[in-house]
Every structure is written in structure tokens, then in C-alpha cells.
Amino acid sequence: MGTSADWPPYEYVEDGKIVGIDVDIARKIAERLGVGLEVRDMKFSALIESVKRGDVDIVIADMAITPDRCSSLYRIKWTPLSSSPEEGLTSEV
């Protein structure tokens, strides 16, 4: 997982470890999928490119969801559930 660990309480470094709400969510997802999780801290501006290159499989960071970001990563059409895209989304593949 790629993240930019500079946005507490979502992702930040504490005692040399990357922690936070987003990291907790990612660990639960990995647990449910039965896979390991390696969390990598990187610059926010590098997150999307790191997914495109295959350096990381997933990015979890406090990132606003935009149609451009979605189409460049997954070719998914996102449908907001409210007027704020950060509050909830559904997707159509």
C-alpha cells in the first residue's frame, strides 16, 4: 500500500511506524483478503504514478476522488452518493 504519511489522524508516522485510520482500514482489508500488507510512505504527488507503474497495488491516502484520477487508474465511473465526493461513492465497472 502506498500512502503519504503526513496527514494525521489518517496516516502518519509514530515511533517509526506508519499508523492511522487509513492504515487500520488497509490492514482489515488485507486480513479479509488473506494477504499481507506492506505500507510504503511516499510523496503525495507520487502515489498515483506508483500504482500505474505497479510499485504498489493500492493507494490509501486522504485524496479527493475526481473523475480524472479514477479514469487514469481504473477506468471506473464513480457515482457520488452526496454532493461531496469524499462522503460516499458507488462504482460501476
The CATH number of the domain holding residue 18 is: 3.40.190.10
Instruction: Kindly report whether the peptide bond that precedes residue 9 is cis, defined as omega within 30 degrees of 0.
Output: yes
Q: Is the pLDDT higher at 90 or at 46? A: 46
Q: What share of the chain is helix, strand, coil (3-state, %, to 5)?
A: 30, 25, 45
Range of the domain at 88: 64-93
For residue 34, is pLDDT > 70? yes
For residue 28, is pLDDT > 60? yes
pLDDT, position 90: 41
pLDDT, position 76: 46
Q: Which of 27-36, 38-47, 51-60 has the lowest mean pLDDT?
A: 51-60
Q: Are 45 and 8 in the same domain? A: yes
* Long-range pairs of 11-16 with CB within 8 A, sequence gap ≥ 24: 11/60, 11/61, 11/62, 13/41
> Are β-strands 40-41 and 2-3 bridged in parallel, bridged antiparallel, or unpaired?
parallel
Q: Are 16 and 36 in the same domain? A: yes
